[in-house]
Structure 1
């Protein structure tokens, strides 16, 4: 059995890996194509907003996971 600190590190690594895979899927063709419409929100294309929102979300969740575990 692993010591608690190693278990926490292993869980953090698994969560970060899951997060990376999740955002890879969200930025892959079928979902990315669904945001590629002619519409605009506030003068900004929807596709740009989708990618920006996902990027902000991945940065925020990664920061949260790293700080929570540290």
Structure 2
């Protein structure tokens, strides 16, 4: 095997070794949970803003039809 390729594979194995202690694993799990929570909250807010914009457009459209 090519020595450079072998070195890359070894380096990849070292990087993917994982987290060693239980405390680090707990921190990582907590971080992932907060990440998912933040992502869902962000999606919810984005959907709310989009819905408000849509309602505003609909209201303006109806007012235009009335001639105001």
TM-score by length of 1: 0.42
TM-score by length of 2: 0.43
Give the helix-richer structure, 1 or 2.
2
Rg comparison, structure with higher value: 2
Give the strand-richer structure, 1 or 2.
1
